[in-house]
């Protein structure tokens, strides 16, 4: 039986992403599309809003970046405020509920359930795992009906820096101001790699990061790409090293890069093959 959510989009699961600049580009978009295709029951569409279509899989539906009409974007902010382009009255030729996915997440299970919960008009976010005592959503994966978030775009456009200073992250702005209120997907569907998959010290030296059974999607924090997990690098400046090699350098200031001793020891992961198994075209 077709859910009310799917009925509102003509029975088609509509997945979208957005890309601008050169940080990610075609390799990330193509991987994301391939993961969606492997983990969704047709019919579905995958639409990328982008300023550069070069190298993209021809099966991907491409649309120009939606307008935002903000002359001066916020500066010195933690949020990814260009995502506000998605809050406008139109998203290409799409209508009804759409599921947005960030380019650097890893899909490890079926996406079908994300189109089966809630009502067509709902704004549903994944839960933010980094602030467990705050009722905060995560816009790395969220579902919303096209046009529902126009009031957010209007508020942001009126005072971009003020909004960014008040909320810091665009996901907090969406959570607090979504028309009709925001709801959340089940907690265990969308997990955070560092918080839900890697082991705490000292188990991180002995055990490969785990993949929880109920997970559908794994999120990766900013500047920690899935490839780093595959290689066993903790972050952008991390080095892949055997456990004993990492431990042996704990008194080397250059290797520790001013981290405390405990933080240095805690910031270690073993290579994670299951990420490579899923994060591929």
Residue 99 sits at the vertex; the CA angle it makes with 172 and 55, to the nearest 5 degrees, is: 105
Reported as half-sphere exposure (CB side, CA atoms, 13 A), residue 199 has a value of 15
Band of pLDDT at residue 264, cut at 50, 70 and 90: confident
Domains belonging to the chain, first-starting first, are 4-184 (3.90.550.10), 190-278 (no CATH)
Answer yes or no: are the C-beta atoms of 67 and 92 closer than 8 Å.
no
Reported as half-sphere exposure (CB side, CA atoms, 13 A), residue 57 has a value of 16
> pLDDT of 231-252, one tens digit each?
999 876 777 888 898 888 888 8
Q: pLDDT at position 131, please? A: 80
Q: What is the pTM of this model?
A: 0.95
Q: The tokens 């942001």 sit on which residue? A: 156
User: In the predicted model, is pLDDT for residue 156 greater than 70?
Assistant: yes
Band of pLDDT at residue 1, cut at 50, 70 and 90: low
Q: pLDDT at position 236, please? A: 65
Q: With b meaning 16 or more CB within 10 Å and e meaning fewer, what string describes 80-107?
A: ebbbbbbbbeebeebebbbbbbbbbbbb
| Mean pLDDT on 184-188 | 96
| Mean pLDDT on 107-127 | 97
Range list of β-strands (E), the chain: 13-19, 44-50, 61-64, 97-101, 106-107, 123-127, 137-145, 182-184, 190-192, 217-219
What's the chain's average pLDDT? Answer: 94
Q: Residue 213 burial by CB count (10 A; 0-12/13-18/19+): exposed, middle or buried?
A: exposed
Q: Tokens for 19?
A: 């890309």
How many Å apart are CA 177 and CA 48, to the nearest integer?
Answer: 25
């Amino acid at each position: 039986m077709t859910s009310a959510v799917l009925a509102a989009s003509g029975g088609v699961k509509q997945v979208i992403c957005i890309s601008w600049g050169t940080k990610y580009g075609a390799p990330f978009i193509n991987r994301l599309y391939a993961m969606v295709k492997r983990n969704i029951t047709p019919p579905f569409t995958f639409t990328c809003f982008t300023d550069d279509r070069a190298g993209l899989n021809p099966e991907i539906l491409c649309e120009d970046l939606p307008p935002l009409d903000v002359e001066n974007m916020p500066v010195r902010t933690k949020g990814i405020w260009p995502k506000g382009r998605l809050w406008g009255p139109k998203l290409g030729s799409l209508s009804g509920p759409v599921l947005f996915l960030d380019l650097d997440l890893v899909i490890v299970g079926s996406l079908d359930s994300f189109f089966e919960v809630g009502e067509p008009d709902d704004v549903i976010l994944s839960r933010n795992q980094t602030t467990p005592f705050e009722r905060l959503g995560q816009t790395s994966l969220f579902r919303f009906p096209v046009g529902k978030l126009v009031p957010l775009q209007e508020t942001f456009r009126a005072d971009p820096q003020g909004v960014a200073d008040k909320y810091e992250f665009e996901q907090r702005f969406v959570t607090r101001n979504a028309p009709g209120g925001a709801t959340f997907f089940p907690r265990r569907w969308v997990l955070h790699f560092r918080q839900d998959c890697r082991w705490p010290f000292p188990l991180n030296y002995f055990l490969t990061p785990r993949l929880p059974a109920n997970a559908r999607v794994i999120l990766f924090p900013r500047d920690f790409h899935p490839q780093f997990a595959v290689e066993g690098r903790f972050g952008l400046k991390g080095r892949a090293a055997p456990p004993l090699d990492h431990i042996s350098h704990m008194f080397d200031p250059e290797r520790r890069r001013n981290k405390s001793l405990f933080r240095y020891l805690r910031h270690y992961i073993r290579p994670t093959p299951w990420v490579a198994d899923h994060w591929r075209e």
